[in-house]
Amino acid sequence: MLLFGGLVWYCIETRRIRVAATAQVEASQTPCLTFAATPRNGVDAVLEINDARGVMVLDFDAGDAMLKNIGSGPAVNIEYELVSRANPPRKLDGYASFIPSGARSTLPVARNSLQGRVYDCVIRYESLSQTKYETRLVINNLVLMPPFRFAKVSAPKKSPAGG
């Protein structure tokens, strides 16, 4: 009986160590995507021009917005969606396959489509271990606004029929 108890304890401890090691590896390779931005003109930020109260303004490459991976690992299977607060709402969405850690990627989202408007943005992506993440933020007239939310998300449950 003592041998069985020792075996159960060993199995529990081994599983606990495996879970901790997996979490440590995932933490060292976690992507975090946001829009590429630079510090805003200090006067504009202080005056909150057009109710835009953030201190970072979007960067553009040849007139297109860019995503930047500020995390420690690559992001894969990236989907983004920007929905304007206008009536009727305008939706901009798309897909990018891969952004390495520290890299930027241009999106087919033109500066003109973001300027003078407010968008709620959601960026969904995965790490190499297929852990799913999501970034939520607001863009107001090219300015990144609060709240900035980064979170691990659980995968949607599949129906019993496999759909």
Report pLDDT digits (tens) over 85-113: 988 999 999 999 999 999 999 999 999 99
**Which among 127, 65, 123 has a CA at the least distance from the CA of 100?**
127
What is the rounded CA–CA span in Å between residue 105 and residue 100?
9
Could you tell me the pTM of the whole model? Answer: 0.78
Side chain identity, residue 160: P
Q: CA 142 to CA 114: how far, in whole Å?
A: 6
162: left (phi over 0), alpha (psi -120 to 50) or beta: left
Say whether 12 sits in a helix, a strand or coil. helix
Q: For residue 48, give Cα distances in angstroms to 41, 42, 95, 118.
A: 11, 10, 32, 14
pLDDT in tens, 110-163: 999 998 899 999 999 999 888 999 999 999 989 998 888 999 888 665 555 554
Of all residues in the chain, the percent with pLDDT exceeding 70 is 87
Asked whether 58 and 22 are in contact (CB, 8 A), the reply is no
